[in-house]
Structure 1
Amino acid sequence: MPVHKVQGYIRQCLDSLLDPDLPNLEVIAVDDASPDGCGEILDEFAERDSRVKVRHLTENVGLGHARNVGLDMATGDYVWFFDSDDYATEGAVKAICERLAETRPDVLMFDYARAYWNGKVKRSIINYLFREPPAPDVFTLEERPSVLEMMMTAWNRAIRREFLLDLGLRFSGGYYEDVNVTYPILMAAERLSLLDRVCYIYRQRRRGAITRTTGAKHFDAFAQYDRIFAFMDQMGPKADQFRELMFNRTIWHLLVIIERGDRVHPSENERFFAEMSKTYNRYRPEGHVPPDDKPLLAEKHRLIQKNDYRGFQRLGPGSVKAKAKKPARKANNLRKRGLLYSKSVAKDRYYQMQRRLPIDENLAVFAAYWYRGYACNPAAIYEKTRELAPHIRCVWIVKPGARKSMPEGVDYVVAGGAEYYRTLARAKYFVNNVNFPDHLVKRPGQVHLMTQHGTPLKKMGLDQMEYPVGANDMDFKALITRSDRWDYLVSSNPLSTEAWERGFPCKYEMLEIGYPRNDRLVTATDEERARLRAEIGIPEGATAILYAPTHRDYQRRYSPMFDIGKVVEQLGQDHVLLLRAHYYYKIKNMAADLGWPEGRVIDVSGHRSVEELSIASDALLTDYSSIMFDYANLDRPIVIYANDWETYKLTRGVNFDLTATPPGVVATTETELVDAFVSRAAWSDTAQKAREAFRARFCPWDDGHAAERAVRRLFLGEQVPNPPA
């Protein structure tokens, strides 16, 4: 398994292969000098599973040569070359092993399905080849030549290792590196077998697929097919029976490359066609007749043979495709026949007009939580911008109801007004911890920084497609369209980087800089802590527990997961609970409404800053909220109340098992919850060691300078350590 820049997918890949019932399995992962976190992830798997062998290369050698490195390391009877951003279906590895044991072939072919970024999974369109006509358990290519028409990749077949080594075949460099292995082994094999089962999921990544990248590397295909025909020459007369079919497959593939429109650059099409003509005339079998049952294809063959590129162009659809640009929708799509000027049409016209005016190079827009107010990472970046880039004029966007909460001296506009649309149209920079609304049109030259607002314990973005309860009818296409506006995306830790790359496969620069909002936690002083405790009303000498639960997608309204009044009574007079309900819920003074002990439960749901609440508290009580990752920076006790962990996993989806690697004590009942504080287990050495390990894993970049790094990269154009040393 060659591994390079797939940190968002490699865990699923390895998990799909490491069947616990197969002790003799050997997974060889070749870290092809991957610049991201792949190497560390591989080492993590190897440490806990002896079946995983890792080789770290010091230089990037490419997919083909990395496969050769893995082949040289292999000791098994059979080898399966696997791409590290794909994954095996459930039970596939075991099914393949059983079929190999039954038939002992030189090559076993099995089926695959394509998994698209929008959640669609589609079996290969040639799956009928596994069944028509019914194949014997073992056969040769001469007996079933249609096998040569199957996908020519390395990952849809298991190969007897000694057979491959004896042939002397090696994967080559460049694009299409596997065809000069995958075709010849079928011709040379004395025993072929089929497994009519989808074993492999071929991920159609939205971006990052090498062979769907336009460039001159696609000319590598000619050298790869030269190698195949050279191998056939070495085979002698035995290969003659395959030349017609192999020739047709070659021309078919070269046509796919030139006709796709996203591989060969338009300026290179004529040169590619000329090379295709040379290949055609060099390897055309004696007596070859173009496929007359397909007139258009037959005509293409004739044009290729004559190197008539102009005639090929005239064929129209089905020949070279230029990237068609969809006609732009008229911006003023709100005006209908007979409709008088409404407020929405007037705003839209005004917004259009403002977008035709120059961009203000020193104007920056800040927003947080769907315009709820001044908060989170954008607030931290805003404050550092005023210090380091005072030439930038910073304007916040807020809802009408949030105006009173804005700090004194902070400039803002109210969403929906004329000044709001003018600011959206003219600003150079945009900073938000959620997406801006769909009506925002990103102009050329505008720059967007997405900070997100928490480390993703739960599934996010496209990962939510497998969890419909959590997705709640989300329009994923619209989500990705909004995310395509990002130029920069902040990551707080390696887990976040993996999740963001997988959940938001868009073209942005990942800023692995830590969380700006956590700067304040790292730099907090005793004086600040004392001041905040007094402001909040925490009694002198009391243990203040910040209770910050997360939202439950399977609940209609907020419902405490334990009897807060009862638990507070059991904690004793020297404990105070600071209740911070999730921002999804509109709650006013819940403590008073429900009759909880006066002065012992302080409702801080409306407090201006969760960072201030964290600094003021002595311990954190949460469930699956991302606040735990921030709070770990304070090195104070954390208790996880996981009474519905299994339900949460099934309905929302998670990126790791929190109960296996918690930041402290895990409680699943009210009794355990109370005991974690009363017995001081949350302050124990065991809890501290767990917290230290958690902090090392999830807070490696929080050093108090994350906001500075964001400002220097976004507003000052400086390169910053990524991640920080």
Structure 2
Amino acid sequence: MSDTAAGDRPAPALTVVVHGPDARGHLAGLLDSLTPRPSPDVEVVVAAVGAWARETVEPYAADVTPVLLPEGTGDAAARAAGAARAAGRWLHFVRARDGLPSGAPRLLAEHAASLPEAVDALLFDHVRSTWRTSATPSPDGGPLTAAGGAAGVTLDEAPRLLRVTPLLGNRLLRTSLWRAREPLLNSDDEALAAYTALLLADRVAWTSLRGYEDRRPRPAELPSPSREEYLDRVDRYERLLETGRGRPSVTAVLYDLMVHDLLRTFVRSGMPDPVAREFFRRASAAAVRHRPAGTPRPAGPEGLRRALLESGSYTGYRATRAANRARRTVRGALRSGRRRLGSRLDEVAYRRSLAGPVDRELAVFSAYWDRGVACNPAAVAAKLGELAPRVHPVWVVSAANAALLPPGTDHVVPGTRRYWETLGRAGFLVNNVNFPNAVVKRPDAIHLQTHHGTPLKRMGLDQMPYPAAARGTDFAALLDRVDRWDFSVSANSHSTRAWRGAYPSRWVSLDHGYPRNDVYYTAGAAEVRAARERLGIAPGHRAVLYAPTHRDYEAGWTPRLDLAELSRRLGEDTVLLVRGHYFHESASPVPAEARRSGRIVDVSPYEPVEELCLAADVLVTDYSSIMFDYANLDRPIVVHADDWEIYRLTRGVYFDLPAGPPGPVSRTQEELTAILTTDAWRDEGSTTARASFRRRFCEYDDGRAAERVVRRVFLGQDAEDLPPVLPPEERSPAPTPEEATR
């Protein structure tokens, strides 16, 4: 290709082509590392797939070349679209979920610029990251430290280079090679593309420089491979061996890689038996057809496995594997000295229930660690009674809270025999947190995770870098619980994205809205008046709902405001409804002397919280998720962020709340008082901020969320057959208290 770009400017040495969806929210960090340009000799093209990637790229548009692609665009198509805009002499394909070590693009560009023209591919080292580990060395360090890589060699001279991890991210490709051989080089099968690049290169150079971070998703978050995807793995090696035909040293290594990979896939993948039989048959045929003449099998167990594969004996291979597993199990039991038997009555009852049929007319509900009928599970259960009354709901409720249940509520107490029997039989399990670790995910039962708020603070795995938030959390056990989810409810695309990163697994997102927020659109003036009457709020009085959240960096409840002084300053026509976080049940947020005036009401134990919101004229909160729910009412919200910097640093947050709040922001009690004693709490600026906030965070809430969830989960209806989400301009929230009295 030409060494000059448009306008006769010298072409950059390297084009970094970032491609794919922002599935894990890593794209912004990757672009931060690439902007401003790492050097004049490096350009960045971003082939952004889908809305989230497009939104992420927008702030970087001045420093990168964006190529915007529709949702669902595959890796190969995204790579092709990005490479088509490249001006660099070399290409580096980087997945949007991955990373680049500091300074790597500049160093790679400098190294590539010094290579002879005959070199078409440059291999380099990389690091690996998982949810548990960060930047651990790859296994490629040894082969890439060997001498002789600077000037390049033919692959026939160094076929060991095929053993370098097959990623496009750990190699640069000369742009002229890519454009001349793109149909052969580009594939949605990245390993196929990575191997093919080496097979087609005239010469290959290498360096021990670490130039890529391969962020590996959990296997549990990847979709289950289809039959065709399993069989394509055999076809991958058939194609590679065909491409390498006539090159004995190359095909010998490819054959070894093929047999090793296909056996490992067969053993570890857990593919269904019919697929496993076909996969084994095809793998066996490929192993026999392509085995290099005169090549002996390895000695020991590996040689036996290869012999069984080449024999085509599916049953024999399975039997040998089963016998080996049994021997290991016995040895392990002998080493441990004992085997734990389920002898307790509840364990026996649970095992017996698990062995029986699943009851598709039984649903178990729980909320807030068995506190009672509340939140999204309560709204789902209520709608279930309307749309599918044949499904019987049973609530899990602690012994202490059982007396507070609505009359006639069927319930079980944790740890009892009926509790375990019910959990074992239930066809549906619904929770806004997680069921205990001991609960088993039956394949034909459905677990519905409703969550209990839109996340501002970091959640799940995203808490790991924040010790105050992560303290005492067993993240491996958390992921075991997450792996039980079939569905995850979301109120907005922000939440959907956050849950994907925080709880990586194979669940399906229900972008249907929060069921608990339906009441904000279905309630009328009578419900608003009734809520205020129950709380003793006189007509014409302003009700300020103050709902602060928990701080991980504090040991217990710490008052943020002098409530008595605030109430005095707000005057006799204002009632303060104070709701403490449920983590602090034993400590009232309102001192006894402050309650005597009657203008400060401790509503911490009041349920449901939605009634408090209906009764309030304005919400004052800090970082509580109640602000996202309350925004559905389109009533004023004030954010009191007196410790934002500390909270952000200790807990971690997903976005800068003071930069995009739902209303005015105060930092001191004086500022809060000034907002509430003037019209600042409901002026034009407050209205404008709230409108923007509602568009972003009330995206799917329109009053029919519970119906959509019940129809999808319990009635099995397809997503396209559900009631569509109403656009914001067509929604009618419940009337304000002032409107309700007219």
Same fold (TM over 0.5): yes
Q: CA deviation at 1:386?
A: 1.7
Q: Are the counterparts in 1 of residues 579 and 589 from structure 2 also a CA contact under 8 Å? A: no
Cα separation, 2, equivalents of 1:64 and 1:193: 25
Q: CA RMSD in A?
A: 3.9
Worse-matched range after superposition: 41-50 or 161-170:
161-170
**Counterpart contact for 1:169–1:181, Cα < 8 Å:** no
- 2:194 aligned partner: 179
1:86 paired with 2:98, answer yes
Tell me which residue corresponds to 1:26. Answer: 44
- Contact (CA 8 Å) 2:141, 2:208: kept in 1 or not? no
Return the alpha-carbon distance in structure 2 between the equivalents of residues 448 and 522 of structure 1.
27
Answer yes or no: is the 8 Å Cα contact 2:244–2:250 preserved in 1.
no
Displacement of 1:5 in angstroms is 6.4
Q: Pick closer, same or farther for the CA change 1:316–1:642 going to 2, 3 Å.
A: same
What's the counterpart of residue 248 of structure 1? Answer: 253
Partner amino acid for 1:650? Answer: L
Q: How far, CA to CA, are the matches of 2:673 and 2:253 in structure 1?
A: 73
- Contact 1:545 / 1:617 at 8 angstroms: preserved in 2? yes
Counterpart among 52, 76, 90 of residue 41 in structure 1: 52
Work out the CA distance in 1 between the residues paired with 2:709 and 2:394.
17
C-alpha separation between the residues in 2 aligned to 1:259 and 1:52? 40
Cα distance between partner residues in 1 of 2:193 and 2:182: 14
Residues 204, 393 of structure 1: CA spacing in aligned structure 2 closer, same or farther, 3 A cutoff? closer
Which residue matches 1:69? 81
- Give the match for residue 636 of structure 1: 635
SS of alignment partner, residue 185 of structure 2: coil
Matches within 5 A, 1:144-543: 147-166=161-180, 170-173=184-187, 175=189, 176-184=191-199, 187-189=201-203, 192-197=205-210, 199-207=212-220, 209=222, 215-226=230-241, 228-229=243-244, 243-245=248-250, 247-261=252-266, 262=268, 265-268=275-278, 269-281=280-292, 307-309=310-312, 345-543=344-542
- Bigger Cα displacement from structure 2, 662-671 vs 85-94: 85-94
Work out the CA distance in 2 between the residues paired with 1:572 and 1:506: 52
Residue 505 of structure 1 aligns to a residue whose secondary structure is coil
**In the alignment, is the contact (CA less than 8 A) between 2:545 and 2:577 conserved in 1?**
yes
Q: Name the SS for the 2:447 alignment partner.
A: strand
CA offsets 1:366-416 (integer angstroms, 9 cap, x no match): 211111111100111111122222222222221122123212343323333
Q: 1:383 to 1:534 in 2, by over 3 A?
A: same
Tell me if structure 2 keeps the 8 A contact 1:77–1:162.
yes
Please tell me whether the aligned partners of residues 511 and 723 of structure 1 are also in contact (alpha carbons under 8 angstroms): no
In structure 1, distance between residues paired with 2:517 and 2:716: 23
Q: Secondary structure at the match of 1:639?
A: strand
Q: 1:716 to 1:151 in 2, by over 3 A?
A: closer
> Which amino acid in the other structure matches residue 593 of structure 1?
A
Deviations 1:152-209 (A, max 9, x none): 3211123332353356664344634313542135x4247x352522532231432355
Match of 2:584, SS state, is coil
**1:96 & 1:672 partners in 2: Cα distance?**
53
Matched residue SS, 1:177: helix
2: CA distance, partners of 1:274 / 1:216 = 12
CA distance, structure 2, for counterparts of residue 275 and residue 701 of structure 1:
51
Deviates more, 1:543-552 or 1:582-591: 582-591
Give, as a single letter, the amino acid of the residue that structure 2 aligns with 1:508.
W
Aligned equivalents of 2:305, 2:359: Cα separation in 1? 53
Following superposition, the deviation at residue 465 of structure 1 comes to 2.5
Is the CA contact 2:20–2:95 (under 8 Å) kept in the aligned structure 1? no
SS at structure 1 position matched to 2:400:
helix
Greater mean alpha carbon deviation, residues 89-98 or residues 545-554: 89-98
Distance 1:299 1:527, change over 3 A: closer
Distance 1:320 1:171 in 2: 42
Aligned partner of 2:559 in structure 1 is: 560
Which sections of structure 2, spanning at least 5 residues, go unmatched? 1-16, 726-742
Instruction: Quote the Cα distance in structure 2 between the aligned partners of 1:11 and 1:168.
Output: 26
Q: In 2 relative to 1, CA 666–63 (structure 1 residues): closer, same or farther, beyond 3 Å?
A: same
Kept in 1, the 8 Å contact 2:19–2:46? The answer is: no
- CA 1:715–1:678 in 2, change beyond 3 Å: closer, same or farther? same
SS in 2 for 1:624: coil
User: Which deviates more from structure 2 when the two are superposed, residues 118-127 or residues 381-390?
Assistant: 118-127
Query: How much has 1:670 moved relative to structure 2?
Result: 2.8
CA contact (8 A) 2:383 2:707 kept: yes
Q: Judging changes above 3 Å, is the alpha-carbon distance between structure 1 residues 664 and 348 closer, same or farther for their aligned structure 2 residues?
A: same
Residue 71 (structure 2) pairs with residue 55 (structure 1): no
Aligned to 1:683: 682
Please identify, of 117-126 and 496-505, the stretch whose mean Cα deviation from structure 2 is larger: 117-126
Contact 2:144 2:206 in 1 (8 A): no
- Assess if the C-alpha contact under 8 Å between 1:493 and 1:700 holds in 2: yes
User: Alpha-carbon deviation of 1:557?
Assistant: 0.4
Q: Secondary structure at the match of 1:404?
A: helix
Q: Which residue of 2 aligns with 1:701?
A: 700
Structure 1 counterpart of 2:449, which letter?
M
Distance 1:409 1:316 in 2: 54
What amino acid sits opposite 1:217 in the alignment?
A: D
* Distance apart, 1:296 and its partner CA: 6.9
Say whether the 8 Å CA contact 2:234–2:262 is kept in structure 1.
no
**How many angstroms apart in 2 are the aligned matches of 1:314 and 1:398?**
49
How many angstroms apart in 2 are the aligned matches of 1:597 and 1:77?
77
**Which residue number in structure 2 is paired with residue 236 of structure 1?**
none
- Worse overlay, 312-321 or 572-581: 312-321
How much does 1:147 deviate?
Answer: 4.1
Q: Give the structure 2 partner of residue 116 of structure 1.
A: 130
Equivalenced residues, count: 688
SS of equivalent to 1:607: coil
* Partner SS, residue 708 of structure 2: helix
| SS of residue paired to 2:386 | helix
Query: Are positions 1:8 and 2:24 aligned together?
Result: yes
Is contact 2:101-2:211 (8 Å) kept? yes
Do the aligned partners of residues 499 and 324 (structure 1) sit closer, same or farther apart at CA in structure 2, a change above 3 Å counting? farther
1:626-647 alpha-carbon deviations (Å, 9 max, x no partner): 1111111011111222232232
Go from structure 1 to structure 2 and tell me whether the alpha carbon gap of 1:638 and 1:137 turns closer, same or farther (over 3 Å shift): farther
What TM-score results when the alignment is normalised by the length of structure 1? 0.84
How much has 1:583 moved relative to structure 2? 0.5
What CA distance in whole angstroms lies between the structure 2 residues aligned with 1:184 and 1:270? 27
What secondary structure is seen at the aligned counterpart in 2 of 1:88?
coil
Query: What secondary structure sits across from 2:544 in the alignment?
Result: strand
d(CA) in 1 for partners of 2:524, 2:442: 43
C-alpha change, 1:387 and 1:688, in structure 2 (3 Å) is same
* CA distance 1:670–1:592, change in 2 (3 Å): closer
Describe the shift of the 1:446–1:311 C-alpha distance in structure 2 as closer, same or farther (beyond 3 A).
closer
Q: CA deviation at 1:41?
A: 1.3
Judge conservation of contact 1:259–1:319 (CA < 8 Å) in 2. Answer: no
Aligned to 1:593: 592
Aligned to 2:547: 548
Partner of 1:237: none
Kept in 2: contact 1:544–1:618 (CA 8 A)? yes
Q: For 1:38-83, what per-residue CA distance to the aligned partner results, in whole angstroms no more than 9, with x for missing partners?
A: x11122134322114123258x674334322322232334321122
